[in-house]
Amino acid sequence: MKKIVSYNLNGIRSAMTKGLMEWIKAVDPDILCFQELKAEPGQLDLKIFEDAGYHHYWYPAQKKGYSGVAIFTKQKPDHIEYGCGIPEYDFEGRVIRVDYGDISVMSVYHPSGSSGEERQAFKMKWLADFQKYINELKKQRPKLIISGDYNICHQPIDIHNPKSNANSSGFLPEERDWIDSFMKSGFVDSFRHFNKEPHNYTWWTFRQGARGKNLGWRIDYNLVSTNLESKMKRAVILPDAVHSDHCPVVLEIDF
């Protein structure tokens, strides 16, 4: 059994000052998929992670203090793939993959489009290119777990106010269509597989005490290729972990 955690940290250095390491030791994941590190490995004391039993693989953005993904894993992978081979995305440090036998785990940080039209256009181009990239990858690596911040709510149940957010980036019809078709291309939303209840979110704005009132969005996922669906044992969201404006999402799976 492997316990996989996906967590957008909104800055790993900030999260470390809020007790991230103690939390990791308590939860004891086998694989940690981090997004939005906003740091490079040289900016932290890495011995802390190594002493806790983790191999760590980082793919920071070229721009300092921005984006970046990493995978921390107790079991040494057979192979690590840095980036997706598309320069404009790899410049932003958005994809890293580790392979264990015939199973691959990815940490992915999908772009946000909330800052304006230019980034929204970038996001839509990324989504189309990411689907193509995964379609190709599946030919060699059909057993995939794609963990990360997708920056999209799939259904009205995944957002606290679907009506007022109908024109908000992250809940636009074209984004929702994309994630729906992406899942239909061969992936299971592991959390919804086990939990059909409303009011389960993974991100809250820092404004207006949104987290205390649970006015959130579910934009972080562990998507599992359908050929591994029967191996899934449990999936939960951990909203009480408060190292970030996101919270961790957990998948327990046999492999």
**Residues 88-107: pLDDT tens digits?**
999 999 999 999 999 999 99
State whether residue 251 is helix, strand or coil. Answer: strand
Averaged pLDDT for residues 175-194: 98
DSSP conformational letter for 111: P
All domains of the chain, ordered by start, with CATH? 2-253 (3.60.10.10)
Place of tokens 């996101």: 246
Is 240 an active-site residue? no
* Residue 60: pLDDT band with limits 50, 70, 90: very high
pLDDT at 247: 98
pLDDT at 66: 95
What angle, 0 to 180 degrees and rounded to 10, lies between the N-to-C axes of helices 173-184 and 117-140? Answer: 0
pLDDT at 81: 98
Catalytic residue chosen out of the listed positions 149, 158, 189, 245: 149
Q: How far apart are CA 93 and CA 101, in angstroms?
A: 25
Beta strands (DSSP E) in 9-149 are 31-35, 55-59, 69-73, 79-82, 95-100, 103-109, 143-149
Averaged pLDDT for residues 29-54: 96
pLDDT at 165: 96
- CA-nearest of 206, 201, 123, 205 to 155 is 201
Which amino acid makes up residue 147?
A: S
**Residues 8-39: pLDDT tens digits?**
999 999 999 999 999 999 999 999 999 999 99
pLDDT at 8: 98
